[in-house]
Amino acid sequence: MAASGLDDLNFTMKEITGTRQSVSGSTSDETFTASVVPESSSTLSLSEDNKLVCVEYPGIISNVDKMLESIGGIQGMSKTYADPSRRLELRFRPQDPFCHPVCGNRYPSTNLLLRMKRRVRKGNPKEAQINMDILGVIGTTYKFQGMADFQYLAVHSAKDGSHTSLYDKIILRKPENNEFFEQPVPLFLPPPIFSRLDCAVDYNYRPEIQHKEGHCPPTVSRDNLIGLSRARRPHNAIFFTFNDQNIPTEPLEAAKVNWKRVCVHPSDIKAEEQLKEMFESRPIWSGYAVKANLDLHPDKLKLLLPIVAYYMVTGPWRSLWVRFGYDPCKTPEAKKYQVLDFRIRCSTKHGYTINDMPVKAKRSTFNYTLPITLNKAVPQAANVTDLPPEGPASGRSANITRYQLKDSSYIFRDGTLPPHRQMFYQLCDLDVESIRNVISRNDGQEEECDERDGWCLSHTSDDLRDIMSSMIKQVIRAKRPAPYSSGPESSITRRKTPESGEDDEEENEEDEFHPSEGSDNEMQTEMLDYM
């Protein structure tokens, strides 16, 4: 089936089992015929231009039009075929919006679709002639190998055992008046999601994960761990909670061994010295702040950080790296290193709606792996020891990859927008005078370190978020003359405005290192990465 000619498909059915039939779509009416007699052979010509797509339909087809409607019709089949990562949806009740589809997987194939006719002479049944036609080559086959999920009908079951359909009461088929919405309707709560897996898997009581020799269990309690059944990555970081008492003073021996194994270039030694100097001048750093001040591959940085600092899991310094031997809970000066979870507020009073956010989402809901899509193959990660050294090289200075992030990835300044909708800022990285005044309201009067507010006054984080949101609102209004116009024309103009700086930022991002979608995100859930 040629992707460009799917709208002119001619379907031919052939029974292959008692309950399953295959449907093939062709883009050409051209056939190649040969007549042979029984117990003889014949040569047929074949053209690769006539390509077909086969759908092994899980049912007996008695009406071709209804069969096509159940798989989305010609248009729906064309969209599915155009996206190799998408599965073919089959709905046995196409008109029912609550029908849960059965999904078919896409497989490459090298099959031929043959049409055979046997002609028998009436006077002598033993004399027969067989006509064979090659309709085309089947290069793609959709097979429904999974189980059909539960179906949920919009039906009300009364106490006396009677059933009443609710489709006419809950589905809006035309504009209705208030009487339609005020009519009494029985409670109908469809499930929010069906099963994400349609193939059976073995569910056994498996033994504990067998780790390699020398594995050190994490020091935090099991209640704070995520994904206990996953094998640990040998990064050997030390995790510390707000209520723990003994401050780590040195890294684990396994962490030293791991870093020594990958520290093979002079640039790695220089990066280690630079990181130690950073923690001497500033005892607490966020992951993004380190990446913005150190040009080192993220895979190597995961092995270097655990030998310099420990990781805070809870408290006002959560998701931050703290220098060994430094206890921020006993040092009021550590107030300026606390973390602030800031998220851009979305409402019409801020000048934009959810569809017109000034900062684009790092991920789209359309990119999540759904039951109707297949996982795309990703390139295998390179060995850490095989990574090239950072810095200029002879003859290849123009193609050097820079892993260092911009300052905007961890510093908030007046007149700029955050790079992401959710950011974890340290208070010392909020480069605004009014914000510093709020933070220093109780300087010299700190009495106790609270798990929520740290050394700051109560609700300081709320006051900081209000100030930052107001500043962002002013930036948006300055860049967009009509803040409440969210039409396509205004959004296009905003993206092309030179003053916005967005075009320049996109051009500069080509030379930057972009981490994978599964590594660093707004929440900075780094625990599993450093175990």
What would the pLDDT profile of 329-345 be if each residue is shown by its tens digit?
999 999 999 999 999 88
Per-residue model confidence as pLDDT tens digits over 228-258:
444 455 568 899 999 888 999 999 999 999 8
What ranges do the domains of the chain cover? 8-143, 238-366+401-479+519-530
Determine contact, residues 461/453, Cβ cutoff 8 Å. yes
- Position 324 scores a pLDDT of 95
Q: How far apart are CA 95 and CA 181, in angstroms?
A: 22
| DSSP per-residue string spanning 499-529 | GG-HHHHHHHGGGB----TTT--TT---TGG
Per-residue model confidence as pLDDT tens digits over 373-391:
665 444 555 566 666 665 5
- Position 118 scores a pLDDT of 86
> Reduced to 3 states, what is the DSSP secondary structure of residue 320?
strand
Residues 6+ apart with CB under 8 A from 238: 219, 248, 251, 252, 306, 310, 311
Question: Length of the chain, please?
Answer: 531
DSSP state for residue 52 in the 8-state scheme: E
Would the pLDDT of 475 be above 50? Answer: yes
Structure tokens at 193: 């999601």
| Phi, psi values for residue 210, rounded to 5° | -90, 110
* Residue 170 exposed, middle or buried by CB count within 10 Å (0-12, 13-18, 19+): middle
Q: How far apart are CA 5 and CA 224, in angstroms?
A: 55
CA nearest to 437, candidates 411, 453, 456, 418: 456
Structure tokens at 265: 């270039």
CA nearest to 112, candidates 156, 151, 54, 182: 54
Average pLDDT estimate for 413-419: 89
- Position 194 scores a pLDDT of 74
Q: How far apart are CA 100 and CA 96, in angstroms?
A: 9
pTM of the model: 0.54
Would the pLDDT of 309 be above 50? Answer: yes
Distance, first Cα to last Cα, the chain? 49
Radius of gyration of the chain (CA): 32
- Position 166 scores a pLDDT of 87
Per-residue model confidence as pLDDT tens digits over 133-149:
888 899 999 999 888 87
Q: How far apart are CA 363 and CA 42, in angstroms?
A: 57
CATH class label, 8-143:
alpha beta
Convert 357-389 to b/e letters by CB count within 10 Å (16 or more is b). Answer: ebbeeeeeeeeeeebeeeeeeeeeeeeeeebee
CA atoms within 13 A on the CB side of 115: 13
Q: How far apart are CA 53 and CA 30, in angstroms?
A: 16
| DSSP per-residue string spanning 52-101 | EEEEEESS--S-HHHHHHHTTHHHHHHHHHH-TTBPEEE-SSTT-TTPPP
- Position 378 scores a pLDDT of 46
